[in-house]
Amino acid sequence: MYLYFNGLIIREGTDGVPARQVEALFEDAGWARNTPAWQKEKFSLIFTNSTWAFTVWDQDKMIGMVRVISDKIMAANIMDLIVLSEYRGKGIGKKLVELCVNKLPHGDWFAHTSANNFKFYETCGFEVKDLTENGTCAYYGYIQARKDGHR
């Protein structure tokens, strides 16, 4: 699936995600540095067992991505959400979270992240229990469905 968003292309899928472009995003986010050559394949292999993934493209340059691990029935976990620093603040991350949650709208969603990202996830509808701890913030789709009258 391809989707257009503010002049960018969002691609859904876990196949064919180029390791070098993923590595560049990880480096920009400060998650990777000086990765040895023998480990570089991990940047594409992380998608192999991911349930869902979306990548964001500006022409031939991947400028954002998200990958999800899920049982596809009850729960899902956002493992990596990255937007290249020069593209942040344009709604791309929020759009990626929205696309993820739409894959399992009545399931419970969790985001593996650090405390400095909690506010972002709150704007996406996630609930944060304790702002002083790193870890997980959650979006309870089942509870939200009940609130919305769907259950």
Per-residue pLDDT reduced to its tens digit, 92-109: 999 999 999 999 999 999
Q: Residue 72 contacts by C-beta under 8 Å, 6 or more apart in sequence? A: 51, 104
Q: Which domain holds residue 45?
A: 2-147
C-alpha closest to that of 145 among 100, 103, 111, 107: 107
Given a cut of 80, is residue 119 above it in pLDDT? yes
Counting the structural domains of the chain, the total is 1
Q: Which helix (H) or strand (E) holds 114?
A: none
Interval 64-84 mean pLDDT:
95
Given a cut of 70, is residue 137 above it in pLDDT? no
pTM, two decimals, is 0.84
**By the 8 A CB rule, do 82 and 35 touch?**
no
Given a cut of 60, is residue 131 above it in pLDDT? no
C-alpha closest to that of 79 among 90, 89, 65: 65
Rounded CA Rg of the chain = 15
Given a cut of 60, is residue 134 above it in pLDDT? no
pLDDT range class, residue 33, cuts 50, 70, 90: confident
Q: CATH number of the domain at 125, please.
A: 3.40.630.30
Q: Quick one: CA dihedral 96, 98, 104, 109, positive or negative?
A: positive
Quick one: 45 exposed, middle or buried, by C-beta within 10 A (0-12, 13-18, 19+)?
A: middle
